[in-house]
Each structure stands twice: as C-alpha cells, then as structure tokens.
Structure 1
Amino acid sequence: MIKLLVVDDSPLMRRLLTEIFSAAGDFEVAVARTGAEALDLLTAFAPDVVTLDIHMPGMDGLACLDQIMLIRPCPVVMVSSLTAEGADETLEAMALGAVDFIAKPRGAVSLEIDALAPELVDKVRQAASARISRATRLRERVRARTGGAMARPVPRPRAAQRISVPRGPLPADGLVLVGCSTGGPPALDALLGRLAADFPWPIVVAQHMPASFTGPLARRLDRLCALGVSEVVKATPLHPGQVYIARGDADILITRRAGLLTAIAAPSDPELYWHPSVDRLVSSAMAQVAPESLVGVLMTGMGADGARAMTELRTRGGHTIAESVDTAVVWGMPGALVAADGASVVAPLDRIAGELMALFKA
C-alpha cells in the first residue's frame, strides 16, 4: 500500500481526494488540515507521498514544503490553480523540491474532480516512487531562496555511460531537442544553467505542462540562465544560443519558412497522450534537418514520450542522450529510451551539459 498524506484546508477537497485515492485500492490515506498538522504526521504517519495545497492559512504550502524537505524528504505533489499566480508558485515549489503538481478543477469541484481522478491517481502513484535526494533538494532550496544567484554546484565525478563510439565534431548548424515531464523544471534549470550564452545551436524544449505554466516556466529559466529563453506562441525563427519552450496543451513542430528553421505551436494530436509531444517534436525535426545535425536529450518524466522518435533518430545517425537512473526523479521516459537501445549516451543530470559541449569539441 502507498501511504498518502493529503494536506488541504478545504473540507470538501480533503473528502473528495480521500474518496478518490481510497477507491484506487492501493492507497492508505491520512489527512491534515494545516501545514502544522502535516509536519506532525511526517513522523507519526510516515507518508510515501504527500499532496499539498499551496494556499492555506497560517503556514502556506510553500513554507510547509520547505519544512518537509528539511525534516523528512519525501515526494510531494502540489495542488495548484491554473492561473499565472498559481504557475509561479508551483514552479517555486518545484524548485524547493516538489516533484509534480496537479491542477484544481476550474469550476464546481465536486462535479469536475471525477473527470480528473485518473490523472490524479496516476500522477500521485508515479510520484510515490520518485527518487528524492536530501542533498539535491537542499541545494535546490538554497538556489530558490537566492534566486539562482549562488554558484553552480561542481558536478560529482560520475561518468557517463557511452553506448556508441564517439563521432567527429557536429556540423555548424543543427538543433538540440529536449524532452521532459515529471521533475522537468528543476532538471531544465540544471541543464540549461550550465550552458554558456554562445552555445552554438538552438535548443527546443517539450516539457509536459498546461498552457498557463509554460510561459512562467520560460520567464523563470530566462532569469536563471545565460541563454535567452522564450515560449513559442507563434511561428518563431530559431537562432543559436536561444532556448524555445513549447507552449503547453499544444504540440511544437519544426518547419522551414523563407529558408529558416522555425518552431510553430500546433494543435495537440489527440492520438497522443502527452503534450507538448516529444515524439512529434523530434519527428518533425527529422523531416527538416539531417539526423547528424540533431541531438536529442530525454530527461526525467513518467511514460515513454520521446523514446520512439529518439530511437529512430539514433538509428538514422543522430545523437541521443538519456538521463541516468541515478538522478532522474522518474526514470520513465529516459528509461524507455535506454530499453529501446536508443541512447548514444546515458548520463547523470549534472553531466548532460558537459556531454553536449563535448559533442562540439570532438
């Protein structure tokens, strides 16, 4: 059984969430009305995973999360509103150590939450198995508190696993394609924050998120990174040293306009489960760019989005990097790439930026 602690000041939300997870059959549920009650239950109940409302009287969700990560680190899923303010708070929570978030229903909670129940259960079940490192989360909390101003941590001496023989240097023109989901925002910070402003290729990112969150994510990364970071909301020509974040609830495609590589936001493909789709991004890029001029990076996230297309990319002569199980919060997406023999290199998160730069110096 998965021991779940539901922390919410709303009696209705506590009741509805308890009913949903109890009905799933593999959860033992305890509830807390306040942040203080939640901290008391950390030892008494010893939860495997916590759902935590951001807005609570007294100790709010962010303050409670900070204490959870200090007292007894465990996977935390934030309960957030789909607003600009809610997005900023949720991204801050993920920088403080939360592994994922679930969105509150927009309208009548009791009417809409049943439709959200399968996603809620799936996310929390996956989060319960997420890897939480006390040292990593402490570093993330300090960086969040200082606005990213502290010095970047020195990578631990963990070697990347090279699955193919290194090739010669990459061509002058190409693209880096990055896919991630659960645990992705801090992973993107760790990856992009280690790249210099003169990085030679554009970087296009598909992070599974709602549309109201990807704009705030892009703005947050833009503040923390030397590279320029923006959200793709219209046809956007791609330039070296720039990062392009796919708009949520849509897909991002690579095309050519007036001879220039361009990213466009496209309606999400209903046949695909996750959006923005990493598979669709990579497939569209292979239709426009020679495989040897593409590098795919697949990082933390549940499911297998990106594994199929990146495996094809490697087969056709491209280069692919999978985040290793050592650092991935959820080793679903990169694990699927490794299982399909689609990864050229498997590397811990703190080595992926170095692997990218090494490709240009080969």
Structure 2
Amino acid sequence: MGNGVLTVLVVDDSALMRRRIADLLGEAGFRVETAATGEEALARLPVVDPDVVTLDVTMPGMDGLTCLARIMVEHPKPVVMVSALTGAGAEETLEALRLGAVDAVQKPAAGAIGRIGEGLVETVRAAASSRPRRVHGLRERLRLARARIAGEDFVVPEAPLPAPPAARVAAGAEGDGVVLVGVSTGGPSTLEDILPLLPADFPWPVVVAQHMPAAFTATLARRLNELCALRVLEVERATVLAPGMVCIARGGADVELARRGGRLQAVCVPAAPERPWHPNADRLVASALRLLPPDRLVGVLLTGMGNDGAESMAELHARGGRTIAESEDSAVVFGMPQDLIRRGGAGIVLPSDRIAGQLVRWLMPAQRRAGGH
C-alpha cells in the first residue's frame, strides 16, 4: 500500500475470473492480491489490509453474503460485489448492498471485459475513497429516526431557505409538486434511511434516479415497497404521478417527467448516450423544470461518485426551488452532493437520516403542528 498505490483483494472461486479481474485492475495501476474462497479472504484480510475488496456474490462453501457480513463486523473495508446480474443474482446483490457493500458490478464474461472494464476500475477507485457503513438493525434504525422526526431532536438549519407560501405547500394544495432524488454508489441503503420514514399521507410523489443496471431496479422497488408506508414501484412505462407513491427509474434507461392529458407522468425513455450515468438525475430534473415552477419541486442529491444531478439541482436552487445535499458524514461516496455544494446549489446539507424529517417539515407543516409534541 506504499507510495500511494491502492491495494485490492480480489475474491472469487474461479481461477479464470480472478485472473481477469486482477489483470484489469493491475493494468489500471492497482496492487492486486487474490483469494479463492471466503475463508481464505477472511484469513488474508488483516495481513493484506486492502483498500478495497471485490467479492464474488456466489461461491461454494462460504458464499459472498456470509463473507461480506463477517468482513463488515470483523475488519470493515469498502467491498464491491461482483455479480452475474441475473434475476437471482440481483436479489443477492441488493442484500449485499444492504449489508454494507459499497456497490456492485457485472462479472466480466468471456469477450465482454472491454465493455465493463472501465466501469469496474472506476467503481473500485471510488470505493477506495468511500466509507464502509456498519449496518445496524433496520427496525431499530427506523424507530429511532421516526422518533427524531416527531420530537425535538431534529436540527433545524440556522439559515433555512425561505419556504413558499404555506398555502402552496400544505398537503392537499392545488397543483402538482414532485420530490426529485438523484443517487448512485451507496444508494440502496441510503434510500432505506429516507423513504421508509415518509408517512402514508406524504403529499407529493417522489421520483428516484438511482444509477443501477436494469436487472436491479425492479427488485430494489419491491424491497423498498415492503419497508415503506408509500407505494414504491419501478417505472416500466408511463406512470401517472400521485401523492403516496415513489417511482424508481428503470435501470439502464432514463426517466423524464411529462404531461399527458393534463396529468403529470414519469416516463421511461432510452438512455441518453451523451450522459455517462443512468438513470440520469440531471435529465430528470431538467424535464421537471420544463413543466413545473421551481416552488413545486424539491431536489435531493445523495451519495454517489461523479457529479450527476449537481448542475440541474443548482439551477433549481438558483430559480428559487428547494434542494438538499447529503452531508459528507453519512455519504458513502461524497462526489455528487459535494459537487452540488461546490456550485452553491444546496439549500440545506443534512445526513441521510435527517432528510425525511426535513421533507415532512417543508411539505406537511400543518399536519406536523396538528399532531405535534
């Protein structure tokens, strides 16, 4: 690990796959160590002390999920899961992200490594600067966060943005309003810090652009739907937006807002080739700004590498809209929210477990006073 060279421990039961990944990372300038089993990985971890671990999801003996859980308890490190991204693999990989993995990448198949190699290198490099999250019991996490929203433990910013008139933002107000969320690396567990805390009568729909392959987003939406009071669904086709719902953009494509027949919809559109990340947050926010006044939009930019969402949310902020950037102390990768802050486009900077409370305070002020403490 000397001289600034990052060390990666590659864990895979396939000798061919270990060699492929090791060669790819070695050519990119990483120092690479390998392990053939979960047991070997756990034994080598304190010796090698890698900056990042790449971990196969499916291995005989100790599988990837079991190995990951032990890594996060015994020797926490940024872990990138390597998955075939099949339907079954998506379930296991999303569980790995809940357990604390930073991100997941597609396993390089024969002849396909050139297509995914750049993404693997970029993900491992971003993971090296990430902070691994120790995952506590989800139920207890939600209970404490709900108590904080309901009580006085919520830190109100010293200089909050001036809110639009109460009549325009209270639940049941006339006109459309949408919460727009951009998120990437570390997103699934971060969304669990936020969406399950929104009440069933939350007045505006939420549209989420989470950078993710197509194989993942239906599973992500289904898992979040089991945790949330709001209905969570994947945007597969034009979906009419209404209060009480969260729309997860379909992976591998982009999502835009459109108005058809007088009704606001989330529409799945082909990925824009000139944009490097999909589903693309900048494209989502730009489409919303074409249809709605800024005071009917709230932009939330969460953990992720790169800068997707920062330009459009900075514009939203400049035009009088409300924006939230996730703070560095909770972001797995601070890139996206940091870029929004640097542009002066973050109205408020909050850790992930405070964001739902801020949304409730902005959009449900009358109900909070009526059911207050």
TM-score range, shorter chain: over 0.9
Residues 91-170 of structure 1: pairs in structure 2 closer than 5 A: 91-105=94-108, 109-133=109-133, 137-139=134-136, 142-143=137-138, 149-150=139-140, 152-155=142-145, 159=155, 161=157, 164-167=160-163, 168-169=165-166, 170=168
Letter matched to residue 294 of structure 1: L
Residue 177 (structure 1) aligned with residue 167 (structure 2): no
1:73 aligned counterpart, secondary structure: coil
- Quick check: 2:233–2:246 contact (8 Å CA) kept in 1? yes
Distance 1:344 1:151, change over 3 A: closer
Residues 275-290 of structure 1: pairs in structure 2 closer than 5 A: 275-290=278-293
Letter matched to residue 183 of structure 2: C
- Quick check: 2:154–2:357 contact (8 Å CA) kept in 1? no
Deviations 1:241-263 (A, max 9, x none): 10001011111010111111011
- Quick check: 2:177–2:204 contact (8 Å CA) kept in 1? yes
Residue 190 (structure 1) aligned with residue 193 (structure 2): yes
Distance 1:224 1:60, change over 3 A: same
TM-score w.r.t. length of structure 1? 0.93
Residue 22 (structure 1) aligns with: 26
Letter matched to residue 129 of structure 2: S
Residue 308 (structure 2) aligns with: 305
Residue 329 (structure 1) aligned with residue 332 (structure 2): yes
- Quick check: 2:205–2:241 contact (8 Å CA) kept in 1? yes
Distance 1:162 1:114, change over 3 A: farther
2:114 aligned counterpart, secondary structure: helix
How far apart, CA to CA, are the structure 2 residues paired with 1:160 and 1:39?
43
Residue 61 (structure 1) aligns with: 64
TM-score w.r.t. length of structure 2? 0.90
Distance 1:151 1:43, change over 3 A: closer
- Quick check: 1:203–1:242 contact (8 Å CA) kept in 2? yes
Percent identity between matched residues is: 54
How far apart, CA to CA, are the structure 1 residues paired with 2:113 and 2:324?
38
Aligned-pair distance for 1:358? 1.1
How far apart, CA to CA, are the structure 1 residues paired with 2:179 and 2:107?
34
Q: CA-atom RMSD, angstroms?
A: 1.5
Gaps of 5+ in 2: 366-373
Residue 45 (structure 2) aligns with: 42
Residue 8 (structure 1) aligns with: 12
Aligned-pair distance for 1:11? 0.3
1:229 aligned counterpart, secondary structure: strand
- Quick check: 2:98–2:135 contact (8 Å CA) kept in 1? no
Aligned-pair distance for 1:189? 1.1
How far apart, CA to CA, are the structure 1 residues paired with 2:360 and 2:253?
30
Deviations 1:311-354 (A, max 9, x none): 01111111000000010000011000000000110001110001
- Quick check: 1:311–1:340 contact (8 Å CA) kept in 2? yes
- Quick check: 2:302–2:326 contact (8 Å CA) kept in 1? yes
How far apart, CA to CA, are the structure 2 residues paired with 1:295 and 1:180?
14
How far apart, CA to CA, are the structure 2 residues paired with 1:278 and 1:245?
12
Deviates more, 1:9-18 or 1:162-171: 162-171
How far apart, CA to CA, are the structure 2 residues paired with 1:327 and 1:151?
14
Residues 207-286 of structure 1: pairs in structure 2 closer than 5 A: 207-286=210-289
How far apart, CA to CA, are the structure 2 residues paired with 1:114 and 1:176?
37
Deviations 1:57-112 (A, max 9, x none): 1000000000000101110000011211111111000001101001113xxx3411
Deviates more, 1:110-119 or 1:95-104: 110-119
Deviations 1:128-180 (A, max 9, x none): 110124xxx231xx33xxxxx55625248684656653324353330000010
1:52 aligned counterpart, secondary structure: strand
Distance 1:77 1:234, change over 3 A: same
- Quick check: 1:158–1:348 contact (8 Å CA) kept in 2? no
Deviations 1:252-286 (A, max 9, x none): 01011111101110011111110111000001011
- Quick check: 1:198–1:241 contact (8 Å CA) kept in 2? yes
